[in-house]
Amino acid sequence: MHVSVIIPTRNRPDLIGNAVGSVLRNTYPDFDILVVDQSDDDQTAKVVQRLAADHPALRYLHLNRPGLSGAYNAGVRETRGQLLAFTDDDCVAPPDWVAAVARAFSDAPAADILYGQVLLPPALADAQGIVPTLSISKRRYLSQRDGFQIYGMGANFAARRELFERIGGFDEALGGGGPLRSSQDFDFQYRVYLAGGTTLLCPDVQVDHYGLRTSAQWPSTLYAYGVGDGAFYFKHVRCGDLLALRLLLNQLLRLGAREVLSSLRIRQRASKMVYLRACLVGIRESLRYEIDAGKRLYRLGVPAA
């Protein structure tokens, strides 16, 4: 199967070369790469175009409007692979990454989308700060038949092209650079579930994540996660979805209980109060937008009545 790799990026010319170079070193015989750039200058373009001069399978696309979901959707439109593999500009893929994606889908014909592991690279093992990662201990499925939970990370996922024809693209109100900040991947995964699709969690598909956040940067990252999660869940709640309501309440109650136990010194854990407050902000911000209930997508530019 032909695999199209999509790498969105914005204002990171210092990182994009390593990300693209790592994918170019992959040994799978049939793949191409599209870098979707939303930078404010031409520095990223220069890096990618230098690499493309020696690699005809690498292409570059610039979008003027920022937004991670918009970059994903453009990548889907502008590529032709039967499989679409996505990674971030601060990730490094091993030489068998593309092959592992293709093999996972070949071995699991029922899978519509997969998430792989996002690992802490050894070079950052002793770094001061926080690197978001995703661990997958064993291969498993999430679906209406197998049971479901929201689990995954956009830095390492892939999907069959036909899935986008069935359920549409990513919600452009969600995701980095969009008004609702994040959670475009969780929303997409949930819509796959609603459509009767299957998510595969695959430990064999791995990338290293170099997205180090300092202690000063982490609260803003956590805030963006919370706004996106609140807006993602509440969009589906507004469509009358009781499962989404249960998932949202479980999330808020679980983290609320954690904060109470920590304040009483019964169980000391890092505070998630920033995230909790941001979830409530995301719920409020959700109400600013109309929803296409049939597609389960926000209508950007259409204020709620």
Number of domains making up the chain: 2
Cα gap 174→182, rounded to integer Å = 5
Residue that terminates a domain, selected from 169, 191, 209: 209
288 near 178, Cβ under 8 Å? no
Residue 28 belongs to what domain range?
3-209
Report CA-CA distances (Å) from 81 to 27, 99, 101, 131, 209. 17, 14, 12, 31, 25
User: Whole-model pTM?
Assistant: 0.96
pLDDT in tens, 29-58: 999 999 999 999 999 999 999 999 999 999
Provide the pLDDT for residue 265: 76
How large is the average pLDDT for residues 6-20?
Answer: 98
- Helix extents (H) in 78-134: 97-107
- Quick one: 202 and 272 in the same domain? no
Q: pLDDT confidence of 305, banded at 50, 70, 90?
A: low
- Same-domain check for residues 8 and 149: yes
CA Rg value for the chain: 19
d(CA 236, CA 25): 41
Last residue of a domain, one of 147, 174, 209: 209
What is the average pLDDT across 240-250? 97
Query: Which pLDDT tens digit goes with each residue over 67-111?
Result: 999 999 999 999 999 999 999 999 999 999 999 999 999 999 999
Amino acid 252 reads L
* Cα within 13 Å of Cα(304), Cβ side: 11
Q: Is the pLDDT score of 262 beyond 90?
A: no
Cα gap 184→70, rounded to integer Å: 10
Give me the pLDDT at residue 302, please. Answer: 67
Tell me the mean pLDDT in the region 147-173: 97
Average confidence (pLDDT) over 289-301? 95
pLDDT recorded at residue 240: 98
Whether 38 and 163 share a structural domain:
yes
251 and 181 in a common domain: no
Q: Do residues 63 and 185 both lie within one domain?
A: yes
Q: Do 48 and 178 belong together in one domain?
A: yes
Residues 150 and 32 both lie in one domain = yes
